[in-house]
Structure 1
Amino acid sequence: MGAGKGRMSALTLPVDAGATCEFKAFRARTPLFSIVAGRVLVTLTMPERLRAEDVEFARTLAEQAHRYAIEVERLYRSGGRVRSEQTGRAA
């Protein structure tokens, strides 16, 4: 994962049946993308003056979310059992 210089914060959101995500477009400002998991709300925002890097981030976000969805569906169709990378056994 790429990041800027300095320290990085990490946030893990356990997703369950109550988790949601939502995209909101506005006429006079940049869009919002929100994820709610449990009692945590994460909202992605962009600066009001967009650059090419902002467009690239949005496209990368969409591509990675698509890959995530494909993998979740693959695991679900295979019985939903995830193998531990350390032991090789089902977790």
Structure 2
Amino acid sequence: MAGGRVSALSLPVGSSASTEYRAFRGRTPLFTVSAGRVLVTLALPERLSAGDVEFARRLAEQAAAYATEVERLYRSGRRPSGRSSDAGRAA
């Protein structure tokens, strides 16, 4: 992460949480995560750069890794500790 001030949001998710991707003609897409009373929408500038493409690819890679780990934990019957770690954190 780049230096400077950082805002952090921990979003506990469960079976009622949702995600949504919306494409539009003539403008950039939106990606939304909703959990409880919190709604987070990722929006891009109207003029895209290579960095925006890289961000979207990295987001997809990290979401796939997250899904794989959640499925592994579910199938193993183990309960997550609820404690976060730096394992798998994006550089």
Determine if the TM-score, normalized by the shorter chain, exceeds 0.5.
Answer: yes
2:87 alignment counterpart: none
Q: Quick one: structure 1 residues 84 and 5, their matched pair in 2 at CA, closer, same or farther if it must change by over 3 Å? A: closer
Query: Aligned pairs, how many?
Result: 83
SS in 1 for 2:27: coil
Q: CA deviation at 1:84?
A: 6.9
1:17-72 C-alpha deviation (Å, 9 max, x unpaired):
11000000001100000000000000000000000000000000000000000000
Q: What's the C-alpha RMSD, in Å, of the aligned pairs? A: 1.4
* Structure 2: tracts of 5 or more residues without a match: 84-91
SS in 2 for 1:53: helix
In 1, Cα distance between equivalents of 2:82 and 2:36: 25
Of Structure 1 and Structure 2, the greater strand share is in 2
Q: Quick one: structure 1 residues 68 and 26, their matched pair in 2 at CA, closer, same or farther if it must change by over 3 Å? A: same
Which consecutive segments of 4 or more residues in structure 1 shift more than 6 A? Answer: none
In 2, Cα distance between equivalents of 1:29 and 1:61: 20
Q: Quick one: structure 1 residues 41 and 83, their matched pair in 2 at CA, closer, same or farther if it must change by over 3 Å? A: closer
Residue number among 2, 14, 20 corresponding to 1:22 in the alignment: 20
1:82 maps to 2:68? no
Bigger RCO of structures 1 and 2 (CA < 8 A, at least 6 apart) = 2
Which one has a bigger Cα radius of gyration?
A: 1
